[in-house]
Amino acid sequence: MNIFRLAADSAHLVAIAILLAKIWMTRSCAGISGRSQILFLIVFVSRYLDLFTNFVSLYNSVMKILFLASSIATVYLMFVKFRATYDKNHDVFRLELLIVPAFVLALLVNHEYSVMEIMWTFSIYLEAVAIMPQLFMLSRTGSAETITAHYLFALGSYRALYILNWVFRYYTESFLDPIAVVAGIVQTVLYADFFYLYVTRGNYSTKSQHSIASINYYYKIDSSLFGVDATPLILCLDYLLEDFFYHEPY
């Protein structure tokens, strides 16, 4: 294990600790996307199906247990203990638009056609886009608490550090996993605009509108697409392609 992986795992644990502390200390999950947390739980369950059948190292097993336990705890706090504070009116991103494509892609592009390998690959693809409901929620509310900004920054740092880990392993071990690398790059790109705002503008104000303005550029999608009123699937690609090529002047 190299320093980049250790730093990445540490950043991931810090992000989780920030999130759990925020929910527990404020007795509220306001500003947190429960849908993103459900996706992360699906990611960890799918990835760690081999927890009791494949022992790699004590470190590896402990990290698996920590990620699974913390994800379960987060979902429990949001949907059971503090469910009254959950903002379901703004957390409306349709999960099937992420889960179904990720699973289909895992069936088509994987290292080995076995249940464990397909589920692992599915978890990699899904993790790359699991933060989208959270970012979309921020674009709808137009504000973010400082602690939520810290959580997202730590989470994005974890993935960025993993890219450095892959680069290091490629040059020292000649090892490269194209599936993990491509998915990791996609995930990092989703955080790129948030990183820029975090670094250049500092901590977010609770009522700040301009802090989320640039995120709106990436998630400027008709709310009906992700809301209760379902948009026909045939129109989804038109919306997404239009948003992809649209450039909003500063």
Report pLDDT for 132: 92
Helices 34-47 + 132-141 axis angle, to 10: 170
- Give CA–CA dist 52/11, Å, rounded: 25
* CB-based contact 62:9 (threshold 8 Å): no
Report pLDDT for 247: 39
Q: What is the pLDDT of the chain when averaged over all its residues?
A: 81
Averaged pLDDT, 13-26 = 94
Span of 53-67, 121-135, 148-162, 200-214 with lowest mean pLDDT: 200-214
Q: Where are the domains of the chain?
A: 3-219
Q: Compute the chain's Rg from CA coordinates.
A: 18
Residue 241 has pLDDT above 50, yes or no: no
Which of the pair, 152 or 7, is modelled with greater confidence?
A: 7
Tokens encoding 127: 């993790």
Report pLDDT for 118: 97
Report pLDDT for 199: 65
Averaged pLDDT, 152-165 = 89
* CB-based contact 228:92 (threshold 8 Å): yes
- Give CA–CA dist 247/250, Å, rounded: 9
- Phi, psi values for residue 87, rounded to 5°: -90, 80
- Give CA–CA dist 30/40, Å, rounded: 18
3-state secondary structure 190-250: HHHHHHHHHHHHCCCCCCCCHHHHHHHHHCCCCHHHHCCCCCCHHHHHHHHHHHHHCCCCC
- In the structure, what pLDDT confidence band is assigned to residue 135 with cuts at 50, 70 and 90? confident
Q: What is the DSSP string of the chain?
A: --HHHHHHHHHHHHHHHHHHHHHHHHT--TT--HHHHHHHHHHHHHHTTTTTT----HHHHHHHHHHHHHHHHHHHIIIIITGGG--TTT----THHHHHHHHHHHHHS-SSSSHHHHHHHHHHHHHHHTTHHHHHHHHHH----HHHHHHHHHHHHHHHHHHHHHHHHHHHH----HHHHHHHHHHHHHHHHHHHHHHHH-SPPTT-SGGGHHHHHHT---HHHHSSSPPPHHHHHHHHHHHHH-----
Averaged pLDDT, 79-89 = 93
